[in-house]
Amino acid sequence: MPSYKAPLENIHFVLHEVLDVAQVAALPGYEEATPDLIDQIIEEGAKVCEEVLFPLNQSGDAEGCLYENGVVRTPKGFKEAYRLFCEGGWPGLVADPQYGGMGMPHVVNCVLQELICSANMSFGMYPGLSEGAYRALYLHGSQEQKDLYLPKLTTGEWSGTMCLTEPHCGTDLGLIKTKALPNDDGSCNITGTKIFISAGEHDLADNIVHLVLAKLPDAPEGSRGISLFVVPKFLPRQEGGQVKPGARNGVSCGSIEHKMGIKASATCVMNFDNAQGWLVGEPHKGLKAMFTMMNAARLGVAMQGLGIAEVAMQNGLNYAKERLQMRALDGAKAPDKAADPIIVHPDVRRMLLTSKAFTEGARALSYWVGIELDRAHKHPDPAIRQEADDLVALMTPIIKAYQTDMGFEAASLAMQIHGGHGYIWDYGVEQYARDARIAMIYEGTNGIQALDLVGRKMGQSYGRLLRRFFHPVGAFIETHQNNLQMQEFIFPLAKAVAKLQQLTASVAMKGLKDSTEAGAASADYLRMFALVALGYMWAQMALVAQEKISAGAGGRVGFYDSKLKTARFYFARMLPETEAHFRKAMAGAESLMELEAANF
C-alpha cells in the first residue's frame, strides 16, 4: 500500500530559511500572515491531506466517477471529504475577507496545492477549478456578479469551472462555435458544446458556476471576438435574504471521459442549450479575462507536477530501503540479512536523487514565484509590483512545463525502483504515473508553454521580463563568487547562466528573421531555462546549509548535510544537461522542418 507524509521540515526550510516568508507580512493586507500563523495553517492543511484526502486516493482511482442520465456521482467518501474541506475554510484560503475568505498570501496556497496534489490529485481538481472561477470573477466581474457568486465560491457551497475547449478546437480558441444571443433583460442565451471540462458536473456542491467562452452575433473573427459569460447550473434566487439555487438552467452533462488517470475527477462533455448567462467584463474581451483563470491554473498545474513527484519519491524511497536484492558492489552492507536493501545500488540512488533534487529545487522555485505573486498584488510601490508581475509572467510557462515533465518522470522512476511491483495497482505508484501524465497536456500543452516563453515572454518590452530573472541571479553570483565554500556551485551556475544568455540572444535574433527558428528552439530553451533556475535555487539552499552547519546547525546537521550533498548531485548530474539543450536549440530548424510530411 502507498503512503504519504507531508514534507513539513523541507517546506519550513524553504519558506523560512531560504526565502524569508516573513517579508510577506509586511505587505498591506497580509499583516496577520506571520510566520507562526503560516506554519499553523500549513500543519493543519497537512493533517487534512494525510488523514482525509490521501486515504481516498487509491479507492477513488479504483471506483472512479459514475455517470447516469446526466448525473455524476463522485467516488465513495468524496462528499464527506469535501464537506470537511469546506468546513475547514480551505476553499477560501486566499479569498478576499470581504467575501468570507481568509485573505492569506498566495504562497501559502502554493504550499496547500502541493500537499493536496500529493495526497489526492483528483480531489484537488474540484476546489482548484473553483479557485480559478473565483479569480476571474473577482478581477473582471461586475460588482453584482461578485456579490452574488464570490461568497458561495469562497465557502465551497458552489463550485466553478472554466469552459474553453470544443470538439474541433483546443489551443486555437479563435475557432470556437459556441454562440451567445443577447436577451432584452441583459442576459444572453448560450448554445454550444464544450469538452474536457474538469468538475463540469458532480455531487459535491449545491451549484456549479460555469465560466464559458462564446461569441456574440457582432463578434469579430478569431480570438478578438471571444467573450466570457457566467452560466450557473441553477439560476440563483433570493430566499429569506439568502442566495440559493433556483430553477435548472439549460446546462447538462452529456457524458464523462474514461481516462488514463485522475479517474475520481469528473471530466465532462457539457452541453449548453439556450442556457442563460451573463457577460463578464467587456464584449469581445473574454480571452483576457479567461487568461486570468488559465495563468492561475498553470501555476496550480505546476504544483501538481511537484506534488506527484514528492509522493512518488517518498514511496520509491520507502521501497528502496526495505526491498532486499543482491549485495552492494563494494561488499555487503547488511550482512545479517539475505541481501542488501536496493538503496545501496548506484542506479537506484541515481533515480532517488534525481527525484529528490527535482522536488526540493522545484519547491523552492515554486514558493519563490508564489511570494512574487503576493508582491505583484500587494506591494505599495507600483514599480515593485510591476517587477514582481513580470517575473511571475516569465516563470509561469517555465514551471508549468518543467515541473509537470519532471512530475511524470519522478513517477516513472518510482515505478522503476519498484520493479515489477511498480507496474501493478497494489503498490500505488503506477497511479502516480497515470495521474501525472495529464498535467503535461492541459492548461496549454508543454509545447505551447515553450512557444509562449519564446514567442511572447522573451521579447516582451524589449526583454524586460528576462531581466527580472537574470538580474537577481547575476547579483547572487557576484556576491558569492569569492566565497571559497560556494565555488563548487557558483562557477557552474555562472557558466550555465552565461550559456542561457547566449542562447537567448541567438533565439531572439533568429526568431526575428524566421519565427520557425524560435519555435524549433523553444522546448530546449525552456528546459535549459528551468535547469538554470533550479540551479539558482540549489545554490541558495547550499549557501544556507553551509551557514547553518558552520553555526552548529542546532542539532540538525544531518538535515543540512543532506541539502549540501543533494546540491552537489544536482550540479554534477542535472545542471550539465543544459549543455545538451544548448546544442540542440542552437542546431536550428532545418533538421526539424526539411522532411516533407508525405515522407514521414
Q: What is the mean pLDDT of residues 550-576?
A: 96
Residue at which a domain ends, from 285, 301, 316: 285
Q: Residue 325's CB: how many other CB atoms inside 10 A?
A: 14
Q: What is the mean pLDDT of residues 175-184?
A: 94
Structure-block grid coordinates of residue 186: 441583459
Does residue 343 belong to any structural domain of this protein? no
Does residue 82 belong to any structural domain of this protein? yes
Regarding whether 182 and 133 lie in a shared domain, the answer is no
CA 316 – CA 325 distance, rounded (Å): 15
Regarding whether 255 and 178 lie in a shared domain, the answer is yes
Tell me, what CATH number does 255's domain have? 2.40.110.20
Read off the pLDDT band of 596 (50, 70, 90): very high
Regarding whether 134 and 227 lie in a shared domain, the answer is no
Read off the pLDDT band of 387 (50, 70, 90): very high
Does residue 333 belong to any structural domain of this protein? no
Nearest to 297 by CA among 187, 431, 160, 432: 160
Regarding whether 186 and 130 lie in a shared domain, the answer is no
pLDDT of 293 higher than 90: no
Q: What is the mean pLDDT of residues 386-399?
A: 97
Task: Give residue 295's pLDDT.
Answer: 78
| E strand map for 111-226 | 158-163, 179-182, 188-198, 207-214
CA 508 – CA 522 distance, rounded (Å): 11
Q: What is the mean pLDDT of residues 277-294?
A: 87
pLDDT digits over 109-127, tens only?
999 999 999 999 999 999 9
Regarding whether 64 and 177 lie in a shared domain, the answer is no
Residue at which a domain ends, from 108, 139, 170: 139
Residue at which a domain ends, from 96, 111, 139: 139
Regarding whether 96 and 124 lie in a shared domain, the answer is yes
Read off the pLDDT band of 553 (50, 70, 90): confident
Structure-block grid coordinates of residue 519: 519555435
Integer CA distances (angstroms), 365 to 32, 53, 530, 566, in order: 24, 25, 9, 16
On whether the CB atoms of residues 360 and 351 are closer than 8 A, the answer is no
Q: Which residues contact 279 (CB under 8 A, 6 or more apart)?
A: 180, 188, 227, 228, 229
Tell me, what CATH number does 77's domain have? 1.10.540.10
| E strand map for 37-124 | 66-68, 71-73
What are the backbone angles phi and psi of residue 157, rounded to the nearest 5°?
-60, -40
pLDDT digits over 123-142, tens only?
999 999 999 999 999 999 99
Regarding whether 505 and 581 lie in a shared domain, the answer is yes
Task: Give residue 170's pLDDT.
Answer: 65
| CB hemisphere CA count around 253 (13 angstroms) | 26
Structure-block grid coordinates of residue 61: 482511482
pLDDT of 570 higher than 80: yes
CA 372 – CA 110 distance, rounded (Å): 12
Q: What is the mean pLDDT of residues 313-336?
A: 96
Structure-block grid coordinates of residue 420: 515489477
Q: What is the mean pLDDT of residues 381-402?
A: 97
Q: What is the mean pLDDT of residues 539-547?
A: 98
Regarding whether 76 and 164 lie in a shared domain, the answer is no
Number of domains in the chain: 3
Does residue 445 belong to any structural domain of this protein? no
| E strand map for 307-398 | none
Read off the pLDDT band of 461 (50, 70, 90): confident
**594 CB-contact burial (10 Å; exposed 0-12 / middle 13-18 / buried 19+):** exposed
Read off the pLDDT band of 291 (50, 70, 90): confident
pLDDT digits over 15-36, tens only?
999 999 999 999 999 999 999 9
Q: What is the mean pLDDT of residues 338-366?
A: 98
What's the chain's average pLDDT? 96
The percent of residues in the chain predicted with pLDDT above 70, rounded, is 100
On whether the CB atoms of residues 589 and 517 are closer than 8 A, the answer is yes
pLDDT digits over 28-78, tens only?
999 999 999 999 999 999 999 999 999 999 999 999 999 999 999 999 999
Regarding whether 63 and 163 lie in a shared domain, the answer is no
Regarding whether 177 and 281 lie in a shared domain, the answer is yes
Task: Give residue 74's pLDDT.
Answer: 98
Lowest mean pLDDT among 51-55, 173-177, 574-578: 173-177
Does residue 189 belong to any structural domain of this protein? yes
Regarding whether 257 and 201 lie in a shared domain, the answer is yes
Task: Give residue 462's pLDDT.
Answer: 87
Read off the pLDDT band of 171 (50, 70, 90): confident
Read off the pLDDT band of 292 (50, 70, 90): confident
The whole domain housing 563 covers 462-592
CA geometry: angle 254, 256, 261, nearest 5 deg: 165
Does residue 58 belong to any structural domain of this protein? yes
443 has catalytic annotation: yes
pLDDT of 106 higher than 90: yes
Regarding whether 134 and 12 lie in a shared domain, the answer is yes
Q: What is the mean pLDDT of residues 283-308?
A: 88
Does residue 246 belong to any structural domain of this protein? yes
Q: Which residues contact 319 (CB under 8 A, 6 or more apart)?
A: 342, 417, 418, 421, 427
Given the residues 131, 443, 517, 577, the one annotated as active site = 443
Q: What is the mean pLDDT of residues 152-164?
A: 97
Helix/strand/coil percent split, the chain, to 5: 65, 15, 25
The percent of residues in the chain predicted with pLDDT above 90, rounded, is 93
pLDDT digits over 206-260, tens only?
999 999 999 999 998 887 899 999 999 999 998 888 999 999 999 999 999 999 9
pLDDT of 294 higher than 90: no
pLDDT digits over 407-440, tens only?
999 999 999 999 999 999 999 999 999 999 999 9
CA 332 – CA 341 distance, rounded (Å): 10
Structure-block grid coordinates of residue 137: 470573477
Does residue 414 belong to any structural domain of this protein? no
Q: What is the dihedral of CA 386, 472, 292, 119, to 10 degrees?
A: -150
Handedness of CA 238, 240, 242, 246 (dihedral sign): negative
